[in-house]
């Protein structure tokens, strides 16, 4: 079905792999379309309660496929990169943030440029010890895009975000963990198992509640207290009518573990 990504579903999780390993999973137009379609597939499938993003080969993603970005452009001043972004990364990042299911990024090797943006748009990031993170854009005379300028300072603070963005230096997995850029670091040979266990745990939790809390936490940076409290009230009304809420309350009083079904 897909050529530049793969999609496999099992045990409540959809695992989407970037699959252009010969170019370090650099994003071309086809990959943008296929990843967007795969995300929509996972979002609409009620059996999917968690999404994992990973990269085939020796890294997660080197970012944009620059050869394709500039190919075939007749403008002597170069392509309109802003228009390119609106059609590609911008809609991908928005789709990821608006998806009411948790997304885990499984990261190894290079996580550069726009590839970093896709990782940051995920909800949780698990890094292998080989992972290396770089904003990278300054090295080709550009500013950060793909949501990096939005997510990075929120995760690691303005000062460190400025340093990573302006200097373009790489940050290894241990530094990234200390910065708060990633949630966990594991040996490379443990990455798949760690992510699978985390995905299994998330897939066993009340999906509607996870989706509402994801939306509320993202919105908290752009709203005031009154609006945040109202968002909580509206979300709690929705969650309060779910089967999972009823199961959670029943399990509490019966002193047993709840079995959530995502309903």
The CATH number given to whatever domain includes residue 246 is 1.10.12
Indicate if 229 and 245 belong to the same structural domain.
Answer: yes
How many Å apart are CA 36 and CA 29, to the nearest integer?
Answer: 11
Three-class DSSP category at 133? strand
Does residue 261 lie in a domain region? no
Indicate if 247 and 156 belong to the same structural domain.
Answer: no
Residue 9: strand pairing partners: 14
Indicate if 236 and 179 belong to the same structural domain.
Answer: no
pLDDT computed for residue 68 by the predictor:
82
Indicate if 52 and 23 belong to the same structural domain.
Answer: yes
Residues of the domain holding 120: 5-204
Indicate if 122 and 212 belong to the same structural domain.
Answer: no
pLDDT computed for residue 70 by the predictor:
75
Indicate if 90 and 176 belong to the same structural domain.
Answer: yes
Give the neighbor-by-neighbor strand order of the sheet with 184-186: 5-10, 13-18, 50-55, 103-107, 124-128, 184-186
What's the Rg (C-alpha) of the chain?
Answer: 19
Does residue 259 lie in a domain region? no
Indicate if 106 and 185 belong to the same structural domain.
Answer: yes
Does residue 145 lie in a domain region? yes
Sign of the Cα pseudo-torsion (93, 52, 14, 34, in order): positive
Indicate if 218 and 106 belong to the same structural domain.
Answer: no
Residue pair 223/231 in contact (Cβ under 8 Å)? The answer is yes
pLDDT tens, position by position, for the chain (263 residues)?
Answer: 899 999 999 999 999 999 999 999 999 999 999 999 999 999 999 999 999 999 999 999 999 998 888 775 666 677 888 988 999 999 999 999 999 999 999 999 999 999 999 999 999 999 999 999 999 999 999 999 999 999 999 999 999 999 999 999 999 999 999 999 999 999 999 999 999 999 999 999 999 999 999 999 999 999 999 999 999 999 999 999 999 999 999 999 999 999 999 98
- Within 10 angstroms of residue 131's Cβ, the number of other Cβ atoms is 28
Does residue 85 lie in a domain region? yes
pLDDT computed for residue 249 by the predictor:
97
CATH number at residue 16: 3.90.226.10
pLDDT computed for residue 79 by the predictor:
80
Does residue 262 lie in a domain region? no
Q: Among 183, 194, 181, 85, which Cα is nearest to 133's? A: 181
Indicate if 214 and 195 belong to the same structural domain.
Answer: no
pLDDT computed for residue 77 by the predictor:
72
Does residue 161 lie in a domain region? yes
pLDDT computed for residue 74 by the predictor:
66
Q: How many domains does the chain have?
A: 2
């Amino acid at each position: 079905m897909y050529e530049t990504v793969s999609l496999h579903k099992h045990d409540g999780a959809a695992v989407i792999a970037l699959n252009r390993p010969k170019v370090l999973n650099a994003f071309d137009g086809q990959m943008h379309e296929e990843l967007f379609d795969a995300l929509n597939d996972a979002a609409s499938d009620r059996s999917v309660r968690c999404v994992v993003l990973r990269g085939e080969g020796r890294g997660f993603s080197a970012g944009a496929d620059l050869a394709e970005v500039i190919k075939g452009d007749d403008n002597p001043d170069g392509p309109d990169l802003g228009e390119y972004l609106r059609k590609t990364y911008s809609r991908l990042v928005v789709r990821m943030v608006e998806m009411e299911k948790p997304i885990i990024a499984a990261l190894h090797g290079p996580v550069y440029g726009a590839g970093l943006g896709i990782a940051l748009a995920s909800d949780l990031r698990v890094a292998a010890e080989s992972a290396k993170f770089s904003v990278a854009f300054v090295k080709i005379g550009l500013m950060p895009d793909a949501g990096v300028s939005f997510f990075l300072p929120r995760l690691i603070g303005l000062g460190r975000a400025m340093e990573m963005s302006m200097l373009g230096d790489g940050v290894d997995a241990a530094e990234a963990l200390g910065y708060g850029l990633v949630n966990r670091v594991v040996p490379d040979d443990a990455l798949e198992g760690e992510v699978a266990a985390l995905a299994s745990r998330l897939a066993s939790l009340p999906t509607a509640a996870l989706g509402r809390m994801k939306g509320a936490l993202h919105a908290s940076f752009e709203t005031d207290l009154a609006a945040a409290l109202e968002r909580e009230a509206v979300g709690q009304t929705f969650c309060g009518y779910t089967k999972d809420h009823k199961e959670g309350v029943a399990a509490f009083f019966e002193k047993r573990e709840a079995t959530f079904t995502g309903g």
